[in-house]
């Protein structure tokens, strides 16, 4: 396990003082050393001590294993990989303080195996991972549910109807591999559709919807063919609904009045419960009633959410998971999409269908993305330094000199449209359109390369450019980012917005979701950030015409190949990278590793 994928709050944490609340006062021995050094948080230690006390465990080595397992989940892993301890990699990855040493691996493993916590099923040591029961069970459940879906009898297929559908949906850019993906989705209950940007994933999804609707009605289905489109964030769900609907309409492929299938967040699809953050209204006892469920941006789906989805899907429902395994993994524990790809690599009936042919005209961005996927730092730098209308590289460690003009021009476009002529809804639509033209993406939230700093900096520059203070926090043209779901208001994490004054002069936050933008009084929305800059993590599921990527220092623990790739692939037509050569090379060389066992379970090695 490495620290390259730590949540930002942990990765950016300063050194701990004597009164730091992250210090566990009653910690003793090695756990106290690791807590003081910032390896373990107080919560890691307190959970371990409480679990050990309840289970009658007195061995300090086992308590340490529990604390590290808790920390692993906080870091995005499913458990802590003790196999890394044999060569000292675990100690290096943890960043142990001088003089501290982990227990000897063989004795440590034996102590865990003999622990009453293991006997009680609270702790598991399986596939080299020490994990808490909840995460161990979810991995096994996902593997079992997918194995059951794959082993089930294949659905009946009307071959004549399928042949006619494939002919009917064949457009100018419909490739053989896309046709093969549609064919697979018709013949199987589960499809994992992967591909990078521009490979036509959404185009293929639209045709899968049409093909399955045709099969449904050919089989005598006299009811409405029920389709659910979903994504982890509201912004991604909006993009999916718009893209699939537009594709169906553009090709004149609306089968039996299907119309534009509705998209929603995964939490909304499963039935969010305000009294429970990990359980939903739909489960094994109350399954989703859709004939087809499509989940886009599956790389963002964590272990818990994937487990809840699979248990809520009826065995006969077609399930299509769509995503790019090269992107950042989920914020929560697990790396489910990449584990599915790896775990089914040699499976005789793999549900994974990969799209590789890129249909976009942005050749230089495609080449840059491919070099990043390949992990070729020299090739990445060659594309960056070549320069073109699509790719620009500003090699500097003084980004303010470069970013001022770029960011002010983008902010001014939004401001001018928000304050221009027309009714409030017209100004809001124009400002939101301008907002989609440009994104400044940062790896960090805090510090000199973080979004907080750059949001403040751009606001200061904008005020200077306008020749007047921006005034109140809700100034016209302020770009907004929704940071959590509000099911009461139907506003979702990842959606964007802008402040526009109403006719009476009062500010209103216009949020762009599914359908027309909607106006809210600022006091009704409490989970909003300014969005002159945004983190690369938050940018997943969205795109903009032009992207500027600000790379942090080369020693940043957040700087990974997946992070860089995700940022670059948010660009529709132009990407600008700002940073040093050392930062570029560090990003390409560092992969975001997570300790999981799902791939081994899916491959049969861990079953």
Note the pLDDT tens digit of each residue in 137-196. 999 999 999 999 999 999 999 999 999 999 988 877 788 999 999 999 999 999 999 998
Q: pLDDT category, 357, cuts 50, 70, 90?
A: confident
Q: Which two tokens stand for residue 191?
A: 């499809």
Chain centroid to CA 161: how far? 37
Q: Does residue 222 have a pLDDT over 70?
A: no
Angle CA 335–337–343, to nearest 5: 90
Q: How far apart are CA 298 and CA 83, in angstroms?
A: 29
CA distance 558 to 10: 10
CA distances from 351 to 97, 181, 342, 430 (A): 45, 10, 12, 43
pLDDT at res. 5: 39
Q: What angle do CA 181, 186, 189 make, to 5 degrees?
A: 100
Please say whether the beta carbons of 181 and 355 come within 8 A: yes
Distance of CA 115 to the CA centre of its chain: 36
| pLDDT for 449 beyond 70 | yes
Pick the closest to residue 325 from 566, 586, 138 (CA basis). Answer: 566
Q: Is 471 exposed, middle or buried (0-12, 13-18, 19+ CB in 10 A)?
A: exposed
Q: Which residues contact 138 (CB under 8 A, 6 or more apart)?
A: 303, 304, 307
Rg of the chain over CA atoms, in angstroms? 25
CB 385, CB 442: distance < 8 Å: no
Determine how β-strand 80-81 pairs with β-strand 292-295: unpaired
pLDDT digits (tens, 9 = 90+) for 562-587: 999 999 999 999 999 999 999 999 99
Provide the 10 A C-beta neighbour count for residue 162.
18
Please name which of 392, 440, 400, 444 lies closest in space to residue 560, comparing C-alpha atoms. Answer: 444
Predicted local confidence at residue 16, as pLDDT: 52
Query: How big is the chain, counted in residues?
Result: 607
State yes or no: pLDDT of 104 exceeds 70: yes
**pLDDT tens-digit map of 176-186:** 999 999 999 99
Q: What is the pLDDT of residue 493?
A: 86
**Residue 494 token pair:** 């990842």
Calculate mean pLDDT across residues 387-412: 95
As a whole number, the mean pLDDT across the chain is 89
Contact criterion met (CB below 8 Å) for 226 and 291: yes
- Spatial CA neighbour of 281 closest among 267, 300, 292, 293: 267
pLDDT tens digit sequence for 421-435: 999 999 999 999 999
Are 24 and 16 a contacting pair, CB within 8 Å? no
* pLDDT tens profile 285-304: 999 999 999 999 999 999 99
pLDDT at 413 over 90: yes
Helix (H) or strand (E) holding 91: helix 89-94
Token pair of 235, please? 């912004």
How do residues 586-603 score in pLDDT, each as one tens digit?
A: 999 998 888 999 999 999
pTM for this predicted structure = 0.90
Tokens (6 digits) for 174 = 């419909």
Look at residue 85 in the predicted model and tell me its pLDDT: 47
Distances (CA, A) of 364 to 5, 133, 380, 437: 28, 47, 11, 19
Residue 515 is predicted with a pLDDT of 74
Contact call for residues 47 and 67 (beta carbons, < 8 A): yes
Record the tokens describing residue 3, joined without a space: 């620290």
Worst-scoring range by mean pLDDT, 85-99, 102-116, 283-297? 85-99
Those residues with Cβ within 8 angstroms of residue 581's Cβ, 6 or more apart along the chain or in another chain: 381, 395
pLDDT of 1 strictly over 70: no
Q: How far apart are CA 565 and CA 570, in angstroms?
A: 9
C-alpha 212/C-alpha 186 separation (Å) is: 6
Copy the structure tokens of residue 76: 């995005």
Q: Are 493 and 482 in contact (CB under 8 A)?
A: yes
CA distances in angstroms from 171 to 183, 305, 360, listed in the order given: 16, 35, 15
d(CA 233, CA 214): 29
């Amino acid at each position: 396990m490495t620290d390259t994928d730590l949540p930002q709050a942990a990765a950016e944490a300063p050194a701990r003082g004597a009164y730091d609340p992250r210090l566990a006062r009653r910690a003793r021995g090695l756990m106290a050393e690791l807590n003081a050094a910032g390896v373990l948080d107080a919560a890691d230690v307190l959970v371990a001590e409480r679990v050990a006390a309840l289970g009658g465990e007195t061995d300090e080595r086992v308590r340490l294993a529990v604390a590290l397992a808790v920390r692993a989940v906080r870091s995005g892993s499913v458990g802590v990989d003790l196999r890394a301890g044999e060569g000292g990699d675990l100690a290096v990855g943890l960043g142990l303080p001088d003089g501290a040493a982990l227990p000897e691996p063989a004795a440590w493993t034996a102590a865990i195996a003999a622990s009453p916590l293991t006997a009680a099923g609270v702790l598991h040591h399986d596939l080299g991972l020490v994990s808490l029961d909840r995460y161990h069970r979810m991995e096994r459940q996902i593997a079992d549910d997918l194995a059951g879906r794959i082993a089930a009898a294949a659905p009946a297929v009307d071959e004549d109807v399928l042949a006619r559908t494939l002919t009917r949906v064949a457009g100018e850019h419909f490739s053989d591999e896309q046709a093969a993906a549609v064919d697979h989705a018709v013949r199987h209950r589960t499809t994992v559709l992967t591909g990078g940007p521009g490979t036509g994933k959404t185009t293929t999804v639209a045709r899968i919807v049409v093909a399955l609707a045709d099969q449904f009605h050919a089989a005598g289905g006299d009811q409405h063919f029920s389709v659910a489109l979903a994504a982890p964030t509201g912004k991604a769900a909006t993009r999916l609904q718009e893209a699939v609907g537009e594709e169906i309409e553009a090709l004149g492929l609306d089968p039996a009045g299907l119309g534009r299938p509705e998209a929603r967040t995964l939490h909304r699809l499963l039935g969010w419960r305000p009294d429970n953050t990990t359980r939903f209204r739909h489960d094994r006892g109350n399954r989703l009633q859709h004939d087809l469920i499509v989940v886009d941006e599956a790389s963002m789906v964590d272990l818990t959410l994937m487990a809840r989805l699979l248990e809520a899907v009826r065995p006969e429902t077609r399930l299509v998971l769509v995503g790019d395994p090269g992107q950042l993994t989920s914020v929560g524990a697990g790396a489910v999409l990449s584990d599915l790809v790896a775990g089914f690599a040699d499976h005789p009936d793999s549900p994974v269908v990969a799209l590789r042919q890129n249909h976009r005209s942005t050749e230089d961005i495609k080449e840059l993305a491919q070099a990043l996927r390949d992990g070729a730092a020299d090739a990445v730098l060659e594309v960056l330094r070549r320069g073109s209308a699509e790719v620009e590289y500003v090699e500097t460690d003084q980004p303010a000199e470069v970013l001022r003009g770029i960011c002010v021009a983008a902010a001014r476009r939004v401001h001018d449209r928000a304050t221009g002529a027309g009714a409030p809804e017209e100004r809001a639509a124009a400002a939101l359109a301008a907002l989609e033209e440009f994104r400044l993406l940062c790896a960090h939230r805090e510090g000199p390369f973080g979004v907080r700093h750059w949001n403040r900096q751009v606001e200061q520059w904008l005020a200077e450019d306008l020749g007047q203070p921006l005034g109140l926090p809700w100034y016209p043209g302020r770009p907004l980012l929704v940071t959590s779901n509000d099911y009461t208001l139907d506003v979702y994490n990842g959606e964007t917005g802008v402040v526009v004054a109403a006719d009476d002069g009062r500010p209103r936050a216009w949020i762009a979701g599914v359908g027309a933008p909607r106006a809210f009084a600022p006091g009704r929305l409490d989970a909003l950030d300014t969005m002159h800059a945004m983190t690369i993590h938050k940018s997943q599921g969205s795109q903009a015409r032009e992207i500027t990527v600000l790379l942090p220092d080369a020693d940043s623990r957040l700087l990974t190949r997946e992070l860089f790739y995700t940022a670059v692939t948010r660009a529709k037509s132009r990407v600008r990278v700002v940073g040093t050569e050392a930062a570029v090379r560090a990003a390409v060389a560092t992969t975001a590793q997570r300790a999981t066992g799902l791939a081994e379970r899916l491959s049969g090695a861990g079953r």
